[in-house]
């Protein structure tokens, strides 16, 4: 059975999913449910611990290499997580149902 699904996958949108979405019994949030069930929900990143007092110079800038690395790793990770939250807000059943109605 290895690879058999790959041969028919391109036809599944029209032959299965669109027909299912247009069915009177299909829920309005059909595709949201599918995406939610298939997608791995990311966990909110844990902020790095506060740097020790000696990690700062006289003007208050972080100079400790480990503290700088922790901050530099955390900042983009946090941004990606927040981007996911914004993306998830825009996938609403109403929006998807409206788009399907136009097909």
Q: Is the pLDDT of residue 31 over 90?
A: no
pTM for the complete prediction? 0.45
Q: Looking at 11-70, which runs of residues are DSSP E strands?
A: none
For residue 1, give both structure tokens. 């059975």
Q: What range does the domain containing 45 cover?
A: 27-102
Q: How far apart are CA 15 and CA 12, in angstroms?
A: 5
- pLDDT band of 85, cuts 50, 70, 90: low
Q: Is residue 6 part of a domain?
A: no
What mean pLDDT value characterizes the chain? 78
Mean pLDDT of 3-30: 81
Into how many domains does the chain fold?
1
Q: Is residue 66 part of a domain?
A: yes
């Amino acid at each position: 059975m290895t690879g058999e699904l790959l041969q028919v996958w391109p036809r599944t949108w029209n032959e299965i999913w669109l027909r299912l979405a247009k069915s009177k019994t299909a829920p309005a949030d059909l595709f949201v449910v599918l995406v939610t069930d298939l997608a791995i929900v990311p966990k909110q990143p844990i902020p790095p611990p506060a740097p020790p007092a000696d990690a700062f110079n006289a003007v208050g800038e972080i100079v400790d290499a480990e503290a700088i690395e922790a901050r530099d790793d955390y900042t983009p990770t946090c941004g990606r997580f927040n981007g996911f939250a914004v993306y998830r807000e825009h996938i609403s059943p109403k929006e998807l149902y409206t788009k399907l109605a136009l097909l």
